[in-house]
Structure 1
Amino acid sequence: MIALPFLKSNSLSLQGERLYLRAPQVSDYRAWASLRAQSRDFLTPWEPLWSDDDLERSAFRHRIRHYDDEAAAGTAHPFFLFHNSDSRLLGGITLGNIRRGVGQNGMIGYWTGAPYAGQGYMGEALRLLITHAFTKVRLHRLEAACIPSNERSIRLLEKAGFQREGLLRSYLKINGMWQDHLLFSLIEDDVRR
């Protein structure tokens, strides 16, 4: 599927009160690698194992090519979060696994750098992405999954209006182990109400 011109992710920016979302670019490498390295212990319990070269420039370039390919295919809208005042990188959020046809849904994933956790940045980013998903991408349903012990993520999703649907057994290999995940969803009608 070819992405519609106004949905072209690499030129897209979403503006919030304290932050903005912008598609990742090769020029973001230093800020990204620094924040990820600084946040490694904070992030690893919730993410797949990092490869040995995960923070290398070549791996980042490959990541950007993958993001661009998914955006061009209309299957994902990846974003980095930047602070409005100084364009400091705060984290990342992606609307991915976009499925059309009878489903019209997508999956949201996100990460925040350790220094910025618990300050409401991801809540603002999630609200921006939800609006974008339902109004511009024209999806009907959003999903997100998190490990049952990730209380911060559960609170974030519930505060954004997501409803818990159930348990996905042995769903994703996180930190080297197959982990159960709670499935949350948000339907466009939920937002309209």
Structure 2
Amino acid sequence: MKWSGEQIYIRPLEADDVEAFYEMNARNREFWGEFEPDFDRPEPTFEHTVGRIGQQKERAANDQSYFFGIFLKETNELIGDVSLAEVFRGPLQSCIVGYSLDQAHNGKGYTTEAVRLAVQHAFERLNLHRLEAGVMPHNRGSRRVLEKVGFHYEGIAREKLKIKGVWQDHCQYSMVRSDWDRLKSK
């Protein structure tokens, strides 16, 4: 199953995507390291990547998290990922939106399109009510993605995540179902 935009499509990663996903992560490790939280885990290996994709499929089957590859329509090249993580049901009906794009493909509108497709999936297929995203204040490109999709700035979450050994503030953004419904009707 995949969801298509004008330039890209998103779909869950499969076993056939392991090599491309591993290589993309290795190629962008330093670039993404500026923004990714510190994890207490060893450097990813090919076997770790196989396990990660399997774990993501299991988490989706249990309605806990949804993880999609971002692919160029023209070439089917894997160029990034977008996720709907930490799905909460009950009275919250929410999740956290995250995304990464291969550095070589930045600035072409691909991330905005992928996040918009993931948001559509969250509201229209998963029937969630609220989506949240956090971005480091100096990550202007990522902040712009959220704003173009329709997220609202809520304020600063002080010392939210540990990145490169330092607790970093994050700009908090959200979108609720009524925001999405208004955007769709335009």
Once the two structures are TM-superposed, the CA of residue 52 in structure 1 deviates from its matched residue by: 4.2
Q: Which runs of 5+ in 2 are unaligned?
A: none
Alignment match, 2:74: 85
Once the two structures are TM-superposed, the CA of residue 26 in structure 1 deviates from its matched residue by: 2.4
Matches within 5 A, 1:52-91: 52-54=42-44, 56-91=45-80
Equivalent AA in structure 2 for residue 112 of structure 1? L
Alignment match, 1:99: 88
Matches within 5 A, 1:40-189: 40-49=29-38, 51-54=41-44, 56-189=45-178
Secondary structure at 2:138 match in 1: coil
Q: Which moved more, 1:104-113 or 1:38-47?
A: 38-47
Structure 1 stretches (4+) deviating beyond 6 angstroms?
A: none
Quote the Cα distance in structure 2 between the aligned partners of 1:73 and 1:180. 31
Q: Which runs of 5+ in 1 are unaligned?
A: 1-11
Equivalent AA in structure 1 for residue 115 of structure 2? L
Contact 1:26 1:60 in 2 (8 A): no
Secondary structure at 2:34 match in 1: helix
Alignment match, 1:9: none
Alignment match, 1:24: 13
TM-score by length of 1: 0.88
Quote the Cα distance in structure 1 between the aligned partners of 2:150 and 2:142. 13
Quote the Cα distance in structure 2 between the aligned partners of 1:79 and 1:176. 28
1:46-76 alpha-carbon deviations (Å, 9 max, x no partner): 113475431x211101211220221111011
Quote the Cα distance in structure 2 between the aligned partners of 1:15 and 1:165. 30
Percentage identity across paired residues of the two chains: 35
Contact 2:18 2:53 in 1 (8 A): no
Equivalent AA in structure 2 for residue 142 of structure 1? L
Equivalent AA in structure 2 for residue 106 of structure 1? C
Count of residues paired in the alignment: 181
